[in-house]
Amino acid sequence: MRAAVLHAAHDVRFEERPEPKIVHPTDAIIRISATCVCGSDLWPYRGVQPVTEPSPMGHEYCGVVEEVGREVKSIKPGQFVIGSFFASDNTCPICRSGYQSSCQHAEFVGGAQAPMLRVPLADGTLVATHGVPSAEMVPSLLATSDVLGTGWFAADAANVKPGKTVAVVGDGAVGLLGVLAAKQMGAERIIAVSRHEARQKLARRFGASDVVTERGDEGIARIKDMTGGLGADCVLECVGTQESMKQAIGSARKGGYVSYVGVPHGVQLDGQSLFFAHVHLHGGPAPVRRFLPKLIELVLNGKIDPGRVFDLTLPLAQVAEGYRAMDERRAIKTLLQP
Amino acid sequence: MRAAVLHAAHDVRFEERPEPKIVHPTDAIIRISATCVCGSDLWPYRGVQPVTEPSPMGHEYCGVVEEVGREVKSIKPGQFVIGSFFASDNTCPICRSGYQSSCQHAEFVGGAQAPMLRVPLADGTLVATHGVPSAEMVPSLLATSDVLGTGWFAADAANVKPGKTVAVVGDGAVGLLGVLAAKQMGAERIIAVSRHEARQKLARRFGASDVVTERGDEGIARIKDMTGGLGADCVLECVGTQESMKQAIGSARKGGYVSYVGVPHGVQLDGQSLFFAHVHLHGGPAPVRRFLPKLIELVLNGKIDPGRVFDLTLPLAQVAEGYRAMDERRAIKTLLQP
């Protein structure tokens, strides 16, 4: 088969790779219906994270089960399934407490920008739909696999509840779906931080009531101004840089909640500043599996349309252009069709 | 009057100071029944925090109201009162959400190691008891003013609940009262980190079920061992150093809670490590005022005896020895009688 492999910064190739096989009896092999490029794929693509060897890319996926290992009980060939980027047994104490991305047997699922994918711990990791969904449902179902699940975790970790004032720092796909999640959770006011018109528009469509274009200290001052000098109850940090983290913490009210869901790159938090900011801080790799059944249901019932974050759809063979478009911020998020 | 003034590292003097007067119409003047030396007083005493000018010391207090400003409504002369180290109006939105130590009008209350003290925002800050309590109640009531309130906040911020496994890093008075708080909140297992026999004994008396003497990575490994490889549900960091913070975060299970209540000194948190630790982190200056009414009630009903942390009682005139004894860890906490 041919699949996406990153060789060096800015060098993604669509090249021959061996087809995946069952390795462990708990594995499943799925035929990918759609996959996509993640904001986190841009870190190595941009050379911020070193590329030490050719790396099969992609960790967002949905598709049809081709084959299962002999110990797989609930997942069956022919089912349409969605899974997360961390395989999890969904039975260990950490999974049971809702932190499947830190499962005691967690395993990263890589190489999803391909026609076929091996998914470890299939019973714990994959969620099957009732029947095979229509093609127009696929983008929104694909979104649940990571980008919506991560935005949802951001809102959950920031304690979003009915009536709260929420600020979202970052207008990437995760931030935009953080807005959607906050709206679903009943937030009264949702302030999106964005200076990009198309993204502002999508943020408003997903439920943002206000848009702030300022960044850094000016962005903080603007949000304080809008909240009677207090700051937001809940702030979702959806970028992962020092600047965005600082803006997020500074935008929260005393006693408020800040979540962070992008892998931090070069972020150092000064203990004393954090202490006097008086915030709750929670984040980490989103335990998407916790939310998957609910998110799939919301999509299939037509309550949410997270697939709108895909503003570029390409055949998998054009994966390199998919990365370029996101790198240059010409696309919010690229969907790839094998 | 004569009161404690820090002139330089290791140089606390008991010297003449002007008696406090009503400055704002919302002030009260109280005659101190008992005060004490705080772990945080040791930072400047040890020279870790620079002493730029002679500083009146002390911020833990209880006593009898002498005089109130003309706008004070609920607090009356003759009442026995307890307050916190941050004066707060107890009516602003931040106070109403339980973060009185970050009140929009917060003001630090300093100079309590003295016979008389001015307390700003008296109505919001002070809590009066019914009648003047007996002398033997005074140490435990004094403890509610900061050290118990801070240990209580540590347990609350670490999400301690019935059935939880709790680890407490730090065997100072705050850590020991964090143990007491966790016990009151129904923790099933409480692991105290201490290598000091008298403190271990007090920790057990307050409710610790286990004691760990190892520090750093060994301490983390020990707590992981004791918790089936998972780590503790709730970890209270009650020191404020890089080492203790690292130990606290490393001792928590994925998805667990870490609180920190000592002003961090030289603490830097690496964003990526914190991300993958997957913990909830919350701390800051303890909003003692939130807990004061409940803590006073628990003391007066004889349910808790936090005053046991005072293992040295001295006349205020011997304040210098009180600091020395704590600095050299000969005393857990020094109570001072004006």
Percent of chain A with pLDDT over 70: 100
Q: Is the dihedral of CA A182, A188, A191, A197 positive or negative?
A: positive
Cα–Cα distance between B185 and B156 in angstroms, integer?
8
Q: How many CA atoms lie within 13 A of B27 on its CB side?
A: 16
Contact A264 B271 (CB under 8 A): yes
**pLDDT level of residue B305 (50, 70, 90 thresholds):** very high
DSSP labels, B187-237: -SEEEEE---HHHHHHHHHHT-SEEE---HHHHHHHHHHHTTTS-EEEEEE
- Report CA A328 to chain centroid distance, whole Å: 19
Q: Which residue bears the tokens 């979702």?
A: A236
Asked if A110 contacts A4 with a C-beta cutoff of 8 angstroms, the reply is: no
Contact B94 A253 (CB under 8 A): yes
Residues of B in contact with A269 (CB under 8 A): 268-269, 271, 274
Contact A268 B272 (CB under 8 A): no
Cα–Cα distance between A29 and A15 in angstroms, integer?
20
Q: What is the DSSP letter of B48?
A: S
The values of phi and psi at residue B12, to 5°, are -100, 130
The tokens for A302 are 């037509």
Residues of B in contact with A240 (CB under 8 A): 271
Asked if B257 contacts B230 with a C-beta cutoff of 8 angstroms, the reply is: no
Task: Judge whether B21 is closer than 8 Å to chain A, CB to CB.
Answer: no
Report helix, strand or coil for B249: helix
pLDDT at residue A222 in the model: 98
Q: What is the DSSP letter of A100?
A: G
Residues of A in contact with B242 (CB under 8 A): 271
Mean predicted confidence (pLDDT) in A212-227: 97
Q: List pLDDT tens digits, range A234-259.
A: 999 999 999 999 999 999 999 999 99
Cα–Cα distance between B38 and B85 in angstroms, integer?
11
pLDDT at residue A286 in the model: 98
Report helix, strand or coil for B74: coil
As to burial, measured by CB atoms within 10 angstroms (0-12 exposed, 13-18 middle, 19+ buried), residue A326 is buried
Residues of B in contact with A280 (CB under 8 A): 280-282
**pLDDT level of residue B19 (50, 70, 90 thresholds):** very high
pLDDT at residue A275 in the model: 98
Averaged pLDDT of chain A: 97
Q: Would you give the end-to-end CA distance of chain A in angstroms?
A: 10
Closest CA to A232 of A169, A156, A301: A169
Q: List pLDDT tens digits, range A268-304.
A: 999 999 999 999 999 999 999 999 999 999 999 999 9
Cα–Cα distance between B258 and B246 in angstroms, integer?
11
pLDDT at residue B324 in the model: 98
The values of phi and psi at residue A310, to 5°, are -80, 100
Residues of A in contact with B240 (CB under 8 A): 271
The identity of residue B58, as a single letter, is: G
Cα–Cα distance between A289 and B234 in angstroms, integer?
23
Report helix, strand or coil for B183: helix
Q: What angle do CA B231, B237, B238 make, to 5 degrees?
A: 145
Tally of residues, chain A: 338
Strand B28-36 relative to strand A210-212: parallel, antiparallel, unpaired? unpaired
3-state helix vs strand vs coil in chain A, percent to 5: 35, 25, 40
Contact B281 A281 (CB under 8 A): yes
Domains in chain A, start-ordered, CATH in brackets?
A: 2-146+287-337 (3.90.180.10), 149-283 (3.40.50.720)
The tokens for B107 are 């003001």
3-state helix vs strand vs coil in chain B, percent to 5: 35, 25, 40
**H or E stretch including A14?**
strand A11-16
* Between residues B48 and A318, the one the model is more confident about: A318
Size of interface A-B (CB pairs under 8 A): 118
pLDDT at residue B211 in the model: 98
Task: Judge whether A276 is closer than 8 Å to chain B, CB to CB.
Answer: yes
Mean predicted confidence (pLDDT) in B302-311: 98
Q: List pLDDT tens digits, range B214-252.
A: 999 999 999 999 999 999 999 999 999 999 999 999 999
Q: What is the DSSP letter of B70?
A: T
Percent of chain A with pLDDT over 90: 99
The total of other beta-carbon atoms located within 10 Å of residue A195's CB is: 13
